[in-house]
Amino acid sequence: MPKKRLYYLDMAKGVGIFLVVLGHIEYLNPDIQRWISSFHMPLFFTVGGVLSYTKEASETSFKEQCIRRAKGILVPYVSFSLILLTMRTFEYFVQPERITGRELMKEFVESLTGYGIYTLWFLPAYFLSCILFSLLCRLLKEKPYSEWILCLLVFSLAGVALKAALVLGLTEYSTAEERLSWYAITGILIVLLRVLIVLPFFLLGRWYGKTAEGSRKKSALFITGTVLSGAGVYLSGRLPVMDLHYLFISPLHYVPAAVSCAGLLNILKALPKSRVLSYLGQNSLIIMCTHAGMFVVYYVSLGMFFVRKFIPVTDTVLYLEIAVMVCIAEIPIIRIFNRRFKHLLGRT
């Protein structure tokens, strides 16, 4: 098991968070949006699967691992939920035309159930799926045909979850007009289904972690990564947009997600370490929690659209510029949280 830091995983998270930012820019080209959505969130779960595999030889107890993960994932979830809800409550009193009391209550329910407001939905889903996957691996460890049984369990649970989401109509976004009690129940159900639906991505990460142990030439990694990434682009263009937040996913979506994630990991493993991507990856949690909820994307987009009046560029270039400027605008936010509010990140 590798003990040193796997920088290509930091870089992968860096690419992932950049694509998350890019995907949240309004008026993005539908084809680009479809490609980004096909794998950018699965990538984080796949990286989690690789990390889970590399830590299997650790002597840390399962209880201690759960506590560490809760501290590093759920503490930020609670912290940023409180920050965003405070902002929304302030907005309700100062600009009541922008949010109604019922919409505000709906967001409180979303936070309490773990459904999550804005991009915060990712944290409870990641924590619970990571714990469940690690538990399954531990229970099946050293048993005959453990890998086959694990695969069967993971895909069966994901299949049941996909069917349940369809039958229960949970792929339709609930409106604020529904009863809050019913909204809370459906929110909890969606959280639980997300946990099961993303398990195959953890399994993909585990497989990748096992195969990555062998020595492979960087040229071969780059070539196979490029081929897989190209296949991911082609396949994603033939499917509707995937969105794990709203459970817009079918069994076919797993294919482009898998090949794109594996392809990107191969490419990044073949490339030299990038300080920029590593920095973004190591701070992806802060960027994930702040870029949309704190309106960084919104205000940067306004500024860049204004600049385009004087410096004309194509839409594609503009959107890339916006994503880059959002990441730059996040630097002071990252520094503030890392230096002054580490306790909000569960790092004390």
Angle at 93 between CA 91 and CA 94, to 5 degrees: 65
Q: For the stretch 243-268, what's the b/e string if a residue is b when 16 or more beta carbons lie within 10 angstroms of its beta carbon?
A: ebbbbebeeebbebbbbbbbbbbbbb
Residues 6+ apart with CB under 8 A from 269: 8, 212, 218, 221, 225
Phi and psi angles of residue 115, each rounded to the nearest 5 degrees, phi first: -60, -40
Residues 6+ apart with CB under 8 A from 99: 88, 91, 92
C-alpha to C-alpha distance for 92 and 103, rounded to whole angstroms: 10
* Residues 148, 138 contacting (CB under 8 angstroms): no
* Residues 124, 109 contacting (CB under 8 angstroms): no
**Percent of the chain clearing pLDDT 70 (strictly above):** 95
pLDDT > 60? residue 271: yes
Residue 96: burial class (beta carbons within 10 Å; 0-12, 13-18, 19+): exposed
**Tens-digit pLDDT profile for residues 96-106:** 888 888 889 99
Torsion of CA 282, 286, 290, 292, to 10 degrees: 40
Question: What angle, rounded to 10 degrees, do the helices at 122-140 and 199-211 form?
Answer: 60
Q: Tell me which residue of 107, 118, 99, 79 sits closest to 184, measured CA to CA.
A: 107
**Tens-digit pLDDT profile for residues 221-269:** 999 999 999 999 999 999 999 999 999 999 999 999 999 999 999 999 9
pLDDT > 80? residue 78: yes
pLDDT > 80? residue 214: no
Structure tokens at 334: 């990252």
Q: What is the model's pLDDT at position 1?
A: 41
Local confidence band at 168 (pLDDT 50, 70, 90 cut-offs): confident
Local confidence band at 179 (pLDDT 50, 70, 90 cut-offs): confident
DSSP secondary structure letter of residue 248: B
SS3 145: coil
Q: Tokens 């004390």 identify what position?
A: 348
Phi and psi angles of residue 248, each rounded to the nearest 5 degrees, phi first: -85, 80
Structure tokens at 66: 């759960």
C-alpha to C-alpha distance for 166 and 141, rounded to whole angstroms: 33
Q: What is the model's pLDDT at position 4?
A: 65
Q: How many CB atoms lie within 10 A of CB 114?
A: 23
Report the chain's mean pLDDT, rounded to a whole number. 91
C-alpha to C-alpha distance for 22 and 39, rounded to whole angstroms: 13
Question: What angle, rounded to 10 degrees, do the helices at 62-69 and 122-140 form?
Answer: 170
